[in-house]
Structures are given as structure tokens and as C-alpha cells.
């Protein structure tokens, strides 16, 4: 049972303000917004956000940014993700998951006739580059309104397919069982690794449709977002215990987070100072004589003392390339040539 709000501890005011990413093992029944609200109390700041919504029924890795780290969340959202999931074949729901009402139930004989080989063959066809129609109960806007709001109001919603990549769809177990009403179903336990924007609920729906019996999601646990996994995660109760004991929150610092997201560029003090003032410096990737120019690649620029100064992108034509700061974390700062000890920013995970 989650603590009531008045029972949630606040950080010791003598501790420095934490800035970094906190990996939360989200419990079932909580919205991502619920977790952010709890983290605001635990971190002692309103400046908290999350990277990638998890539905209330889902559990697992929810990356939360605190203070300056909220500015990294846009890039964290774009990372590939891995899920442990259970998909039920034989029944379709309005939400493509177990929280929605049944809209179709397959004939028992059709479910019983499904072979494991047919299931794994259909899974293989849902692996790789796909055009996926998102789940109707999603936050995508249609005519200015969220799709889930329109569906819950009884309206029919048509969403356009979008490109996604399912890099792995590994089936571990297929269980033949029955639902609470005694109807036969197949429960498929699998691991899915996919690009951002992929709906695992939609994979369950599409697998069921491909097999002619319908399908929906019954369990979902996110185990990885980019380089951040459940090994880095803490439960909300564990985080509350840290705060109650006067310990700083366990964070992945800005520097470690950026190094896990982007190539790292070690800056001179002069380069760091120029970036802190918003000026361009020499290109991060050199100035290639031939081949395509990558104007989208992001590099993390670290000062001589190890702090994250800015995120950079190379710009310009051949012979005139420069690195432009796209996000500055230490505006106006000055940096010694000799590295000093990094500032204390909480316990680094």
C-alpha cells in the first residue's frame, strides 16, 4: 500500500539539491504522473518529469529527471526499450489490454487448433521494421483531442500507421489455459525490444488478428530504457526510506546519463567557456572530406573537471564545420584547466 501524501518524507534541507536521473521501478496501479508527484516530494523540488509514460497496469523502469536532468528527458524518451510481457490470444478488447472490455471472443475450436508453430511464425512476421497502427487508447491527438478520451466517450477513432522497429520478439512460453468464464485462451510470454513509439498492446492486437482469434495484453513490465535497466531502479518505498534516513536520492548524474546517451567530447577550459557563453567551437566529428554530413548527431561536451557543459551538434558545410551548443547546462561558467573534484550531487547509481 502506498503511503498517504502526508507520510511521504522530505529531504534533509542540509543536503545539496539532487540533480540527475532517478530510475523508478513503477508499481502497478500507479500512473506515471502519480510517480512524478511522489518524486517531487521525495526530491524536495517541483522540477521533476518522466521519460516515457507507462500505463497504470504496467510496471518497471520509469526514468525520472530531477532539476537540470529534466532537460535530458527528450533524448531519454527516444531510446529503445525492452519489455517482459504476456499476450493473451483468443480475445480482443477495446483497449488492446486487460483493462478494457471484451469486444470479440474466438470460437473455442479455433483457439484450440492454434499450434505453437503458428504462433511463433506470426511473431516472426511482427519482428523488424513495421508499419504499426497505434493502440486506439493512446495519447495521440486526433482533431485536437487525445485518442483515449474519444474512445472512452464511445467514439470511433482511426489512427494512421507509423514506422516502428521491433528488434526482438522472443517467445519464452505458450500456455494453454482458460479465462474466468472457462473459455480457452493461449497466454504467450515474451520479451520485446523495440524503438520508441512502439505499442506493445498493438503487437498483441496484431498477433491475434494475424492468427484470426484476436489478442490483447495482460501483463507488461519494462526492464530497460536505453542503458538504464531494472538493475539501476529503486522502488518508491526504497527511495522514501533513503530520504527518511537522511540519505541523498540515488541518481544517475547528468554526466553519466549524457555519457550513456551520446558520444562524449572532452573539452578544454577555453572550449567549455565558449560553450557556456553560447558560442560555437570546432567540430566534434572533424571535417570529413567525403560522405554524408550528419547534422543530427548529438555529442556531450564535458569540462576538464568532468561536468556536463552542453550538448552539441555539428553544423555547416565541408571546410567550415563547427559544433553548435543546442543545450547549455552551465551558462556563464568558467573552468580551470586543471580538473578539480566534481561537485557532490547525491549517490550516483
Active-site annotation, residues:
55
CA-CA-CA-CA torsion sign (123, 128, 134, 140): positive
Coil/strand/helix, residue 14: coil
CA proximity to 127, closest of 99, 92, 166, 155: 166
CA-CA-CA-CA torsion sign (134, 257, 22, 333): negative
Backbone angles phi, psi at 206, to 5 degrees: -70, -35
- For the CA atoms of 303, 305, 307, 310, what is the dihedral angle to 10 degrees? -10
Distance spanning both ends of the chain, measured CA to CA: 26
Question: What does DSSP assign to residue 97?
Answer: B
Separation between Cα atoms, residue 48 and residue 68, nearest integer Å: 9
Instruction: Report the 10 Å Cβ neighbour count for 41.
Output: 19
Strand 141-142 and strand 145-146: the pairing is antiparallel
Question: What does DSSP assign to residue 316?
Answer: S
Q: How far is C-alpha 255 from the chain's CA centre? A: 19
Q: How far is C-alpha 309 from the chain's CA centre? A: 24
Separation between Cα atoms, residue 284 and residue 171, nearest integer Å: 42
Grid coordinates representing 93 are 478488447
Which DSSP helix (H) or strand (E) runs through 270? helix 269-276
Instruction: Report the 10 Å Cβ neighbour count for 17.
Output: 16
CA proximity to 248, closest of 29, 45, 3: 45
Coil/strand/helix, residue 228: strand
Amino acid at each position: 500500500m502506498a503511503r498517504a501524501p502526508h507520510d511521504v518524507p522530505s529531504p534533509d534541507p542540509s543536503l545539496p539539491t539532487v540533480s540527475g536521473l532517478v530510475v523508478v521501478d513503477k508499481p502497478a496501479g500507479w500512473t506515471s504522473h502519480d510517480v512524478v508527484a511522489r518524486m517531487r516530494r521525495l526530491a524536495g523540488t517541483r522540477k521533476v518529469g518522466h521519460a516515457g509514460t507507462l500505463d497504470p497496469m504496467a510496471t518497471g523502469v520509469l526514468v525520472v529527471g530531477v532539476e537540470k536532468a529534466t532537460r535530458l528527458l527528450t533524448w531519454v524518451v527516444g531510446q529503445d526499450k525492452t519489455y517482459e510481457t504476456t499476450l493473451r490470444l483468443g480475445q480482443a478488447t477495446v483497449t488492446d489490454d486487460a483493462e478494457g472490455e471484451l469486444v470479440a471472443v474466438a470460437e473455442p475450436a479455433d483457439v484450440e487448433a492454434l499450434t505453437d508453430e503458428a504462433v511463433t511464425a506470426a511473431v516472426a512476421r511482427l519482428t523488424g521494421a513495421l508499419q504499426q497502427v497505434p493502440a486506439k487508447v493512446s495519447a495521440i491527438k486526433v482533431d485536437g483531442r487525445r485518442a483515449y478520451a474519444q474512445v472512452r466517450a464511445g467514439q470511433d477513432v482511426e489512427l494512421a500507421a507509423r514506422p516502428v522497429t521491433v528488434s526482438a520478439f522472443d517467445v519464452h512460453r505458450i500456455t494453454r489455459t482458460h479465462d474466468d468464464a472457462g473459455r480457452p485462451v493461449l497466454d504467450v510470454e515474451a520479451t520485446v525490444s523495440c524503438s520508441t513509439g512502439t505499442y506493445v498492446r498493438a503487437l498483441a492486437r496484431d498477433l491475434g488478428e494475424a492468427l484470426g482469434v484476436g489478442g490483447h495484453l495482460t501483463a507488461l513490465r519494462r526492464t530497460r530504457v536505453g542503458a538504464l535497466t531494472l538493475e539501476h531502479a529503486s522502488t518508491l518505498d526504497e527511495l522514501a526510506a533513503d530520504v527518511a534516513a537522511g540519505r541523498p536520492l540515488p541518481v544517475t548524474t547528468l554526466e553519466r546519463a549524457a555519457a550513456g546517451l551520446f558520444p562524449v567530447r572532452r573539452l578544454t577550459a577555453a572550449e567549455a567557456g565558449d560553450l557556456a557563453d553560447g558560442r560555437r567551437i570546432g567540430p566534434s566529428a572533424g571535417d570529413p572530406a567525403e560522405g554524408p554530413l550528419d547534422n543530427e548527431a548529438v555529442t556531450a561536451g564535458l569540462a576538464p573537471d568532468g561536468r556536463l557543459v552542453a550538448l552539441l551538434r555539428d553544423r555547416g558545410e565541408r571546410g567550415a564545420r563547427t559544433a553548435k551548443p543546442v543545450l547549455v547546462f552551465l551558462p556563464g561558467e568558467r573552468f580551470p584547466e586543471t580538473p578539480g573534484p566534481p561537485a557532490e550531487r547525491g549517490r550516483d547509481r
